[in-house]
Chains A and B, each alone.
Chain A
């Protein structure tokens, strides 16, 4: 794990000649407790704990019981336990398995919901992660998704093509739309040096207003309707269901897996991916080595935007096929950043992080419905997870874990190193 991180200080030799070899089990234990995996798990636990405190504090029953704490302290504890466990069991039952259903087929439905929610998060997260690996911060997920949905969605409802081919055409149009919107950013950075954080934020708004206009008066308008909403996607372009009509899981999830494999191949097996990583780690060294850094910026943003465009078209062809509005992205563009950070910009890490956040999303809705806990708590827990993961020393200090012994303390996670190397 740490070998691929390529920390500049880790290349020094003093780490290897350890005078006294500790036992293998001891070593393995230390690696687990000091490595990334345990930090990630502890960060999730810690964030859920903080979320639990917030749920308990704002619960009416808890507040009531706190009023007579000194006469019956047990009541308070019971109320706290009830509110927090109720909320989190609703979260679990809404995202993984519902024990209140009779059959397995009905009980497992929440898990398929989770995967459906995870699909666009994985796709967009991969796009953001690609940007991170090249040292670019793509905050433009919202705009790229909207443009992708506009172009792909138009192909989906306005063009007549046979079944299958239609879907592919819409997919390609959508990915091209996202790539175009991302490519503008890459081109501006390469040509004029405009910072991508600014241009992506600005293009988000430009895309939002552009698509709003198109939905109101342009080619995305539903004829004879005043609702700023597009017509429904034609049946020939809709993603097929994976598990039959009772589940919402659709072909998009297969695409998400394929996108993960493609990103992994691109980054670690292809020539272009090598150049991506070289520029990300040190653009100056990459330039000296003969890599055209500007060209790589454009390519990286094309791929990054295309991947996020896939998330956008996934929403139109898979999740909301009845027509889309300008709020189509529903925060996925920003969630993708946290997904990429949690996944440490590694394709399979992003995949896992996307599923976790998909579970939070699916469970959050049922938590809100069953226990009345606002879904905003999910945002709090998600951002806390990322904050804790970004600062391993903090988590170690809280849980009194040993710092990585002989290895030097890694100052920054992988992503930040590349962003900082610019």
Chain B
């Protein structure tokens, strides 16, 4: 350290020749936060609704019963709007004093805004909070598996647009194998194989033949939609009793944990696939950032030439890790048929792969953040379902639009400058 200091020292007298040291500040966050605050004031106060909003916090089967939360709609709206205004003020002040707006402040803002919206929408009605969260998690499970696969694949340097195809292939194969063998576990394994198969096509085309990865991904999606659609109409639908009635996973209640108020029933009364997902998120996070495997994987994605120089086989690392990503995404596909829906249908993934891709980018190629992003998207979709039951004050289409608008805002506003792995999407041609 001390040997470096003299070398740095001579630079400082020449400071007046250099442009002044400046902290790069971005006004994006305060502007975005400000816009949402204005929306909050308009919605919750100017168009505020009278009445009492009831939030039900417990289900009837819970051991610990929490009382329903009854909030006066308008007063809560005003209170939350004022809080949002305060946060906006803080963020403006932080940027003015050349500091970055911390991510936790924006998270608090988002949560407050969501609560405010929930209370506003539920005027005179009751919203079952555990049900809302439970549905959100079910919708998010395939997204999380997809996002994890996307993170691994992009971190190793292969852009994975084919998540949609891997999900669909996993859903189809798991339905077929589980129906034939009457074993949901075998269906799960088959789904992983199907995901790997799609991944291997992606990997071999992009690594061996240097075809553009985005193009292979897009084409693979079409190929899998065509293949599963063809086989469904030709083989599966005529023999539906034999081939398309998979047994579903049973729900497993984890003792003690499942009795925690609010989150217990949501997180710990789930099927096995969901528990596998918890483990997968933790393992991928730990593996990526705390093991030799993760270090090698990331180095190949960031600077393949350097990785090659120190003796890592770039092509092989990419190939096997992209295949691994496919296996993980395949699990998400199995959740459609063995977890939530219970049978395969044509194009049943309905764009979930693309939302997972958005979660990868929204989550800045980080497994934990991507998981949170996927949860957010699941929440927004399910909020629409719940609100349409109680009679939503906003047209349902706008609620359904919300995750996509949030993603655009996020990509443009909060994570616009975030960068993916440097070598992602670029083929490595060894010279």
Nearest-Cβ distance from residue A220 to partner chain B, whole angstroms = 12
- Contact (Cβ within 8 A) B234 A58: yes
Interface size on B, residues (CB 8 A): 49
A390 B219 Cβ-Cβ under 8 A: yes
Nearest CB on B from A218, distance (A) = 9
Residue B86 at the chain A interface, CB threshold 8 Å? no
Instruction: Report B-chain residues with C-beta under 8 Å of the C-beta of A192.
Output: 28, 411-413, 416
With an 8 A cutoff between CB atoms, is B235 at the interface?
yes
B400 CB-CB contact with A under 8 Å: yes
Return chain B residues, CB-CB under 8 Å to A222: none
Is B279's beta carbon under 8 Å from chain A? no
Chain A residues closer than 8 Å to B357, beta-carbon distance: 198, 201
Cα(A69)–Cα(B416), bound, Å: 62
| A residues less than 8 Å from B425 (CB atoms) | 420
Residue of B whose beta carbon sits closest to that of A392 = B209
Cβ–Cβ < 8 Å partners of B404 in chain A: 202-203, 205-206
Alpha-carbon distance A201/B361, docked complex (angstroms): 13
Q: In the complex, A394→B417 CA distance in Å?
A: 38
Which A328-373 residues sit within 8 Å CB-CB of chain B?
334, 337-338, 341, 373
The closest CB in chain B to the CB of A213 belongs to B397
From 88 to 124 in chain B, residues with beta carbon under 8 angstroms from any chain A beta carbon are none
Closest to A215 in B: B397
Contact A390 B227 (CB under 8 A): no
A416 engages B358 (CB within 8 Å): no
Contact check, B235 vs A383: say whether CB atoms are below 8 A apart: no
Dominant SS among interface residues on chain A: helix
**Complex contact A387–B223 (CB within 8 A):** yes
Q: How far is the CA of A203 from the CA of B407 in the complex (A)?
A: 10
Cα A342 to Cα B29 with chains together (Å): 42
Pick the contact of A383: B220, B395, B413, B429 (CB < 8 A).
Answer: B220
Of residues B229, B361, B412, B425, which shows the largest number of chain A Cβ atoms within 10 Å of its Cβ?
A: B412
Least CB distance, B395 to chain A, in whole angstroms: 5
Given A205-B404, A213-B397, do A415 and B226 touch, yes or no (CB 8 Å)? no
Contact B205 A390 (CB under 8 A): yes
Q: Is the CB of B397 within 8 A of A216?
A: yes
Residue of A nearest to B429 (CB): A411
Q: Is the CB of B408 within 8 A of A194?
A: yes
Give every chain A residue within 8 A of B232 (Cβ-Cβ).
Answer: 376
A338 to B426 Cα, complex, angstroms: 21
Q: In residues 401-431 of chain B, which contact A (Cβ within 8 Å)?
A: 401, 404-405, 407-408, 411-413, 416-417, 425-427, 429
- Chain B residues with CB below 8 A from A391, complex form: 205, 209, 211
Contact yes or no, A378 B226, CB < 8 A: yes
Are A416 and B412 in contact (CB-based, < 8 A)? no
Is A403 on the interface with B (CB-CB < 8 A)? Answer: no
Shortest beta-carbon distance, B215 to chain A, in Å?
6
Q: How many A residues touch B, CB cutoff 8 Å? A: 52
Task: Please name the residue on chain A nearest to B161 by beta carbon.
Answer: A197
Is A384 touching B223 in the complex (CB atoms < 8 A)? Answer: yes
Known: A195-B361, A202-B408. A412 touches B212 (CB 8 A): yes
State in angstroms the CA–CA spacing of A228 and B215 once bound together. 34
Contact A419 B212 (CB under 8 A): yes
Known interface pairs A341-B219, A387-B205, A416-B211. Does A379 touch B161 (Cβ–Cβ under 8 Å)?
no
For A205, the chain B residues whose CB sits under 8 A away are: 351, 400-401, 404
- A293 CA to B139 CA in the complex, in Å? 40
With A192-B416, A213-B395, A217-B395: A341-B215 Cβ-Cβ less than 8 Å:
yes
The answer to whether residues A58 and B226 also contact, given A194-B412, A201-B354 and a CB cut-off of 8 A, is no
Residues of A within 8 A of B78 (CB): none
B289 part of interface (Cβ distance < 8 Å): no
Candidate in B354, B404, B427 with the most chain A CB atoms within 10 angstroms: B404
- With beta carbons under 8 angstroms apart, the residue of B231, B358, B405 that contacts A58 is B231
- CA separation between A419 and B219, bound complex, in Å? 16
Residues of A within 8 Å of B203, CB to CB, are: none
B398 contacts chain A at the CB level, 8 A cutoff: yes
CB of B263 within 8 A of chain A? Answer: no
Contact A199 B411, CB 8 Å, known A393-B209, A411-B210: yes
Tell whether B267 is near chain A: CB-to-CB under 8 Å.
no
Known: A376-B229, A383-B220, A383-B222. A415 touches B397 (CB 8 A): no
Known: A373-B234, A374-B234, A390-B211. 13 other contacts (CB 8 A): A188-B408, A192-B411, A209-B401, A216-B397, A337-B218, A376-B229, A377-B230, A383-B220, A383-B226, A394-B209, A419-B212, A420-B425, A420-B426
Q: Which residues of B approach A to under 8 Å, CB–CB? A: 28, 161, 201, 205, 209-212, 214-216, 218-220, 222-223, 225-227, 229-235, 351, 354, 357-358, 361, 395, 397-398, 400-401, 404-405, 407-408, 411-413, 416-417, 425-427, 429
Going nearest first, the 6 A-B pairs with the smallest beta carbon separation are A379-B226, A416-B212, A376-B229, A374-B233, A213-B397, A383-B223
Taking beta carbons and an 8 Å cutoff, which residues of A are in contact with B?
Answer: 54, 58, 137, 139, 188, 191-195, 197-199, 201-203, 205-206, 209-210, 212-213, 216-217, 334, 337-338, 341, 373-374, 376-384, 386-387, 390-391, 393-394, 411-413, 415-416, 419-420
